[in-house]
Structure 1
Amino acid sequence: MTNSSRAERAVRIATAAGRRLGLRADSPRVLHDVFNVLVHLAPDPVVVRVPSLTLVPAGEQATRQRRELAVTGWLADAGAPVVAPSPLVPREPVEAGGTSLTFWEYVHESAPDRGSDGDSTDPRALEERFAEQTGQAAQLHRLLAGYPGELPVLPSLVPATGSSLDALRKQPQQFLSTADLDRAEGEYAVLEALVGDIPAHFPDARLQALHGDSPGYNVIRTATGPLFGDFEDVALGPVEWDLTLAGPRGIAAYEQAGGGPVDRQLLDVMEGARLLQVVGALALVPSMPELGPMLEPVVAQWRARAPLALPGVG
């Protein structure tokens, strides 16, 4: 539970919107408070996701949410292991308080795994857990490959990262120098070329519906098994985009689970794109100052890499 003003506002908005839809919302409580605030409208088994840190206008946010609800609803109807849209309200975003909300089934999370020393934060135990969950993403990808709807190609990269970099140029942050920003904008131009025609640069890339935000890190472990959640960035793209941050053990687990061969060169480009996306997230620091120190180590990791480039270009 958190007492941030962001969370308090989210509870008010979620409660009012839920009651308009016929939910009781007698004992709302905050489950999570970072980029989104998740509000459980207890006693009903409904969780409201309230965007709290975003540069996206409510109308555009609703468009993204419709895609997310369509894909997760389709997966849930097929029996896929996902956190499903709530069946107690229509599968549509709800505009409230100047933002756009989505409503999800409440699921009970299992107690965290613990290492041999009883510490659930043991790095080795966490690495093993994320590798296992990345392996489970192979099944998710097989299901997503059959999604019949239309999706844009990696919109969380292009144009979203470009918009973030534009905001940083207008309001620079202490964590990013002018030289850093110049480099970031050069890398974004590379991303525009890639997203505009991925097969031209990677002819063997498997383009399909994706989770869009490292599914191995977006798993809720329940008594009945793991559930994938947070499909906000659902998109069309290469499977390698979903495998960023997985690490060598995660990639091995994915391939062993039947996810197919992973293109290491494309994965490396996608890793660079993920780091650039994090650099762009510094545009949110004015709204959440504590985010800067959280992202600073990733920015350092981005600086240590060679600038993003495409094979055969440059």
Structure 2
Amino acid sequence: MADFQTPQHIARRTSAAVDAAVGAGRDLGLSVTDAAVLYDLFSVVVHLAPSPVVARIPVVLPHTTDLDALERRQQAELDVARWLADQGIPVIPPSPLVPREPVQRDGLSMTFWQFVEEDRGKEPDYVANCEFVPDLHAAMRAYPGRLSFLSAAEPQFITESLALLEKHSDLIGPAELERARREWKVLEPLVRSRTAFEKAFPGIDLQPVHGDCPPANIFSGVDGDLYSDFELVTLGPVEWDLAALGPDLESAYNRGAQRNGMRPLNGDVMGFVNAVGMLRAITVLTLAPQLPPLVEYVKPAIDQWQTMPFAGGMAD
């Protein structure tokens, strides 16, 4: 892996993303005189003021994701968000002021969204948010577009990252890495194959799901809450969207599911998605050179993972 980025490197990366967004926005006919960074972590999110448009530019990406793959993922996100908005579902929609497609500029790929003013005084309520996730799942069941099975798990990234981590005992110890490799050997076939998943979990329906922890991606707008950030939208069990959130939030989801006439979360599937989610968290360490704070973010997840059943109970 490359050397860790310094604050100066990250600042230059942010500035380059802003410049690319401003240039792309102006090329699309937007008036941009007061661009402002709203968020800067895995993506740089820029309000192209005074236009009511927000650009989102991913800047911290797995080594397995090239620009073409990113563009396909971004197009799927735009398509899903536009479809949900057309159905009257409360989402942050793509901007109607530009074509609803990703734009590449200066080696970056970006998408454009409607600006929504945030209610900055509202604290996130993840219990309440989890009760609303079944409403989203109920709406997404009818989505007509094609989505890949569990693409949000990024299995190739997990496989290659576990190999990369062999050379980085400073990021994860050899005993923990060996357990992760043995768990992935059990879990990988079920992630890569819909047939294998359905054989392991008969009767569990698959549908379009958000893909990236929707309770944490409900945006508090001044006029109400909105679902957002469908970057990892995928086909999978509804349990995928609750991975690693714990029993209290699972119970909140089940209350919302009952209200919608939907099945409750399946314990065996939760064990599976929790295990896969933990391996994804561990392999995110390979992104730490691009985003050094990830080392401290991931450490609690590794500690929790070591108290969990091996491979989510999928192996004796």
TM-score after normalising by structure 1: 0.89
The one of 296, 300, 305 equivalent to 2:303 is: 300
1:76 positional shift: 1.0
Relative contact order: is structure 1 or structure 2 higher (C-alpha 8 Å, sep ≥ 6)?
2
CA distance in 1, matches of 2:42, 2:239: 24
Structure 1 residue runs of 5 or longer lacking an equivalent are 114-119, 121-125
CA distance in 2, matches of 1:305, 1:275: 10
Query: What is residue 162 of structure 1 aligned with on the other side?
Result: 159
Q: Output aligned runs, 1:270-309, within 5 Å.
A: 270-309=273-312
Query: What is residue 75 of structure 2 aligned with on the other side?
Result: 66
Query: What is residue 117 of structure 1 aligned with on the other side?
Result: none
CA distance in 2, matches of 1:164, 1:61: 18
The one of 86, 97, 104 equivalent to 1:77 is: 86
CA distance in 1, matches of 2:299, 2:226: 30
1:309 positional shift: 4.9
Q: Deviations over 1:188-226 (max 9, x none)?
A: 222221121211111121200000011011011123221
**Is the counterpart of residue 144 in structure 1 residue 151 in structure 2?**
no
Gap change, CA 1:24 and 1:165, over 3 Å in 2:
farther
Q: Secondary structure at the match of 1:68?
A: helix
CA distance in 2, matches of 1:179, 1:58: 35
Structure 2 residue runs of 5 or longer lacking an equivalent are 1-7
Query: What is residue 97 of structure 2 aligned with on the other side?
Result: 88
Query: What is residue 24 of structure 1 aligned with on the other side?
Result: 31
Gap change, CA 1:87 and 1:30, over 3 Å in 2:
same
Query: What is residue 33 of structure 1 aligned with on the other side?
Result: 40
TM-score after normalising by structure 2: 0.89
**Is the counterpart of residue 269 in structure 1 residue 272 in structure 2?**
yes
Query: What is residue 251 of structure 1 aligned with on the other side?
Result: 250
**Is the counterpart of residue 204 in structure 1 residue 211 in structure 2?**
no
Contact 1:131 1:246 in 2 (8 A): no
Contact 2:92 2:114 in 1 (8 A): yes
1:45 positional shift: 0.9
Letter aligned with residue 164 of structure 1: S
Paired-residue identity, %: 37
CA distance in 1, matches of 2:309, 2:264: 25
CA distance in 1, matches of 2:296, 2:127: 27
Gap change, CA 1:303 and 1:245, over 3 Å in 2:
closer
CA distance in 1, matches of 2:222, 2:298: 33
Q: Which moved more, 1:7-16 or 1:243-252?
A: 243-252
Count of aligned pairs: 298
1:255 positional shift: 1.8
CA distance in 2, matches of 1:166, 1:85: 38
Contact 1:29 1:42 in 2 (8 A): yes
Q: Secondary structure at the match of 1:42?
A: coil
Gap change, CA 1:70 and 1:181, over 3 Å in 2:
same
CA distance in 2, matches of 1:143, 1:136: 11
Query: What is residue 109 of structure 2 aligned with on the other side?
Result: 100
Q: Deviations over 1:22-53 (max 9, x none)?
A: 11121111111111110111111111111111
1:90 positional shift: 0.8
Contact 1:173 1:282 in 2 (8 A): no
CA distance in 2, matches of 1:38, 1:163: 28
Q: Deviations over 1:216-266 (max 9, x none)?
A: 110111232210111111000000000124332322222222342110121
Q: Which moved more, 1:284-293 or 1:129-138?
A: 284-293
Contact 2:209 2:233 in 1 (8 A): yes
Contact 1:190 1:310 in 2 (8 A): no
Letter aligned with residue 180 of structure 1: E
Q: Deviations over 1:133-175 (max 9, x none)?
A: 0111111000101011111111132233223334434x52512
Contact 2:152 2:212 in 1 (8 A): no
